[in-house]
Structure 1
């Protein structure tokens, strides 16, 4: 009986460890393009999947539990900013800042 309990606990731990972060998945950006956010190294890469800049990686963020920080690139201006992302349900609020004072935010929707 004890070995069954231990095996069940180990299986539960393995499933929990493999659970996706809330930021992972496909998102509709403010411009209407689709972006995929997926694990890459110890972070999460943001890659455009549709639109004028399809295939371009536009960000890399690290974090857990719905709160992430890193860099985000405006593909139109080709400028990179310090960024953050906060997931709430099926919404992702992306924020990019210059010198931590001039910031612009967008809300993306999960697809």
Structure 2
């Protein structure tokens, strides 16, 4: 669930799914996307929490129509793991 947080956007895990469908993860309610500040062109920069290893990474986010691309990066943003979400 993406919501404004000050002048940025933050996202909390609202629902979780696996290959069998929706399930109740222990991560529901935790903040995944942190302080993503917009640049006015559909791009955002902030932090992203990765539940599988409990680490926070440099975050990048791009919005295009009903698609959101989210990246968690290391090495100053050179190496990124990406996901695309649909509204």
- Please state which band the TM-score falls in when normalised by the shorter chain: 0.7 to 0.9
CA distance in 2, matches of 1:104, 1:57: 18
Taking the TM superposition and a 5 Å limit, the aligned residue runs for 1:1-111 are: 36-51=1-16, 52=25, 53-60=27-34, 61-63=36-38, 64-99=40-75, 100-110=77-87
The corresponding residue for 1:29 is none
Max Rg structure: 1
Structure with greater helix percent: 1
Structure with greater strand percent: 2
Q: Given the two structures, how large is their TM-score scaled by the length of structure 1?
A: 0.63
Q: Given the two structures, how large is their TM-score scaled by the length of structure 2?
A: 0.79
CA distance in 2, matches of 1:107, 1:44: 17
Tell me, what secondary structure is at the counterpart of 1:59? strand
Q: Which runs of 4+ in 1 moved over 2 A?
A: none
Unaligned runs of 5+ in 2: 17-24
What is the alpha-carbon root mean square deviation over aligned residues? 1.1
Unaligned runs of 5+ in 1: 1-35
Aligned length: 75
